[in-house]
Amino acid sequence: MTELLMPAGSIEKMKYAFAYGADAVYLGLTDFSLRALRKGELIDATNLKTAVDIANSLNKKVYCTFNIFAYDDDIKKLYSILDVIKEAKPHALIISDFGVLQTIKENINDIDIHISTQTNILNSKAVKFLRDLGATRVILARELSFKQIEYIRKEVPDIELEIFVHGAQCMGYSGRCLLSDYMTQGKRKANQGNCAQACRWSYKLVEETRPNEYFEIIQDDKGSHIMSTKDLCLVRYIKNICELGIDSLKIEGRTKSLYYVSATTKAYRKTIDGIYDSDFAFEELKKVGNRGYTEGFFMGDNNSSSYSYDISKGLAGADFLGIVQKKTNNNCYTILIKNKILLNDEIEIITPNYSTIATVKSINHPKKGEVDLANTNDEINITFEFENNDWEKEANYALIRTKGLKEF
């Protein structure tokens, strides 16, 4: 069975990823991961074992990323947490740097090694080399086509292969980019886990003899995003990828929202299991934040249509409205509000296996009583009228979003 591998930027997101159908998650420790996280119950040396224990209790897996470009100071830091890794015993370590790989091999011999996409593996010889070094899995570069992946699978059948199927892409080659370093004077080093996403900025042209005159490179009302790639989406090819014998399908997004992780997991889980057809899944994926979707290099014809020239921030076809906290009485639930909800709004409630359209019949603020509006960050009681109440079987992981699909 092909593994669905989801991002876990926090303990909470990890739990939702598992509930919505992930087989495994990948997460990173501070100082060793390519995503510097700032919100939520972050996963660090103090709770890595907790994360792994939760996964084990659910018969799921946790892979821990050590994929920064490491300097000697980073290697020294690595020695200080080897005991934490040994005690927590994640199911695999994701590594890109050969110094980190050597340090791990010298000190830990009972945890699988996965080679990060940051290593830019593009050919079967490289896969064989890494297999012979002791790697159990290689995460192939996103710059490969289906035919190239197919050839690698055929040439090296005795190692696990993982590919990215969804999420933000980088204008650098598999993430190897110095743009952030230069544009922030070294304060935001991309390959040290602190990318400023300078490729998403809007750029203008300055002529040398006219220093105070700025020209749009592409003139429109949204600016010029000449390096901002669209997001990868291969949901329409999941059947082909699974038949190819790829061991793990990976989705990007450790810094993205709880809603993104949950809804994206559900769309790919149901597609892998044959419950959703690919067209329906694609429509569902439009409801999460994205910069427009592309197949990237997968079909072998990556071109300028893979870039999002007019936007740099992801737009969602549905707004994430809230998280169901608990039931208070008949059809009334305490909701943690993420975007404002109005009286009489029609909304959609989703869970790992169900969804329903509901109407907001009353909003009760704990201090103000009955109100017409629930504001962001309120924890408030809302009474709904449902089309069906099957979702209540999974109310512990229920999320609320706007009904339907917005067009941009």
Q: Which residue has the higher pLDDT, 155 or 203?
A: 155
What's the pLDDT at 229? 78
Same domain for 369 and 284, yes or no, is no
Domain co-membership, 244 together with 367: no
Residues 128 and 266 placed together within one structural domain of the fold: yes
Nearest to 297 by CA among 123, 143, 139: 143
Over the chain, what is the mean pLDDT? 89
CATH number at residue 362: 2.40.30.10
* Residues 248-262, mean pLDDT to the nearest whole number: 93
Indicate the residue among 306, 341, 374 that finishes a domain.
Answer: 306
26-74 pLDDT tens trace: 998 866 655 555 555 678 888 999 999 999 999 999 999 988 888 899 9
Q: Which pair of tokens denotes residue 403?
A: 């009904």
Q: Which of 271, 306, 341 is the last residue of a domain?
A: 306
Average pLDDT over every residue of 318-342: 95
- The alpha carbon dihedral of 287, 288, 293, 295 has a sign of negative
Structural domain includes residue 221: no
Is residue 314 within 8 Å of residue 253, measured between CB atoms? no
User: Are both 282 and 327 inside the same structural domain?
Assistant: no
Same domain, 235 and 366: no
- Residue 139 CA, chain-centre distance (Å), reads 15
In this structure, is residue 355 part of a structural domain?
yes
pLDDT at 197 (0 to 100): 79
Quick one: tokens of 323?
Answer: 């998280």
Here the CATH number for the domain that contains residue 28 is: 3.20.20.110
Token digits for 239? 């059947």
Alpha-carbon distance of 226 to 207, in angstroms, equals 18
Total tally of structural domains belonging to the chain: 2
pLDDT of residue 407: 77
b/e code 273-293 from CB counts within 10 Å (16+ = b): eeebeeeebbebbbbbbbbbb
Structure confidence by residue, pLDDT tens digits, 349-364 = 999 999 999 999 999 9
Residue 185 in domain: no
- Residue of 400, 264, 279 whose CA lies nearest to 337: 400
Decide which of 306, 340, 361 is a domain's last residue: 306
Domain contains 408 = no
Instruction: Flag whether pLDDT at 219 surpasses 50.
Output: no
Is residue 179 a part of any domain in this protein? no
Is a pLDDT exceeding 70 seen at residue 296?
yes
- Rounded to two decimals, the pTM is 0.87
DSSP state of 230: P
Answer yes or no: do 247 and 270 share one domain.
Answer: yes
Does a structural domain hold residue 200?
no
- Does 182 map to a domain? no
Q: Is residue 382 part of a domain?
A: yes
Question: How much is the average pLDDT of 267-290?
Answer: 96
The length of the chain is 408
Joined tokens for residue 17: 């990823």
Q: Which structural domain range is residue 372 located in?
A: 320-402
Are residues 8 and 123 part of one domain? yes
**Token pair belonging to 315:** 């737009």
pLDDT of residue 224: 57
Token pair 């959703």 is found at 276
Is the pLDDT confidence value at 253 over 70?
Answer: yes
3-state SS, one letter per residue, for 313-325: CCECCCCEEEEEE
Q: Look up tokens 């339907």; give the residue.
A: 404
Are 90 and 40 in the same domain?
A: yes
Query: Could you tell me if 150 and 239 lie in one domain?
Result: yes
Amino acid found at 230? K
**Residue 394 and residue 250 share a domain:** no
Task: Give 26 or 209, the one with higher predicted confidence.
Answer: 26
Residues 34 and 104 in one domain: yes
Do residues 289 and 325 both lie within one domain? no
